[in-house]
């Protein structure tokens, strides 16, 4: 069975370094590290294919903008006739400290428009999420500017190791060993936070 790994982000080149685009960044590093096929336009997004730990992975970066990510995800999932458990979304998480990562199945969108769109289009919240911590700006009023703001040079010491660790440990995720994946990423990044 194909696994669908979705990086959430916004497609404009001027937004590439936004905190909101850490999902795109993670999927890019995974695809590069594991020698995926070149990216091509499909399913209202960009897709690349590869194999990790013997599992076939379709990487997807929706080009629909964050608020309509679910349209792209739903098209890809329908084409491959995937069960909801075969889908994993990589996304920014305000409620986790910068450099922290958690994996969970299901749950609420917690105000994340990309997840909200996926919930709506897939008719389920039961897909997997790789929550990539970006920290919180402190007040609700500052959230929009913060997530749409770029990572700055102070973020590099934790951001690069986090993305590398996610890519290096991706085999555990592909095999459905989410606890091992979290442990492995935590061990690889413990000196960078």
Task: Pick the catalytic residue from 20, 34, 91, 112.
Answer: 20
Residues 6+ apart with CB under 8 A from 57: 2, 3, 4, 5, 34, 36, 49, 50, 51, 174
Is residue 175 helix, strand or coil? coil
Q: What is the dihedral angle through the alpha carbons of 27, 101, 149, 168, rounded to the nearest 10 degrees?
A: -30
| Residue 67: CB atoms within 10 Å | 12
Q: Is 112 considered catalytic here?
A: no
Q: How far is Cα 9 from Cα 62, in angstroms, rounded to an integer?
A: 7
| Residue 178: CB atoms within 10 Å | 17
| Short-list 89, 60, 65, 59, CA closest to 14 | 65
For residue 41, how far is the Cα from the chain centroid? Answer: 18
Active site members: 20
């Amino acid at each position: 069975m194909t696994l669908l790994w979705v990086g959430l982000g916004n497609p404009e080149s001027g937004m590439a370094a936004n905190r909101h685009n850490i999902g795109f960044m993670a999927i890019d590093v995974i695809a590069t590290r594991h020698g995926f096929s070149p990216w091509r336009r499909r399913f209202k997004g960009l897709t690349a294919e590869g194999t990790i730990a013997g599992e076939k992975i379709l990487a997807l970066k929706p080009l629909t903008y964050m608020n309509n990510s679910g349209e792209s995800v739903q098209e890809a999932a329908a084409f491959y006739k995937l069960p909801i458990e075969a889908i994993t979304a990589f996304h920014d998480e305000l409620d986790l400290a910068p450099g922290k990562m958690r994996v969970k199945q299901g749950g609420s969108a917690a105000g994340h428009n990309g997840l909200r769109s996926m919930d709506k289009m897939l008719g389920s919240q039961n897909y997997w999420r790789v929550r990539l911590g970006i920290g919180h700006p402190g007040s609700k009023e500052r959230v929009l500017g913060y997530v749409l703001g770029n990572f700055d040079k102070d973020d590099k010491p934790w951001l690069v190791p986090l993305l590398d660790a996610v890519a290096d440990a991706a085999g555990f995720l592909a095999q459905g060993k989410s606890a091992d994946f979290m442990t492995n990423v935590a061990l690889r990044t413990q000196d960078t936070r």
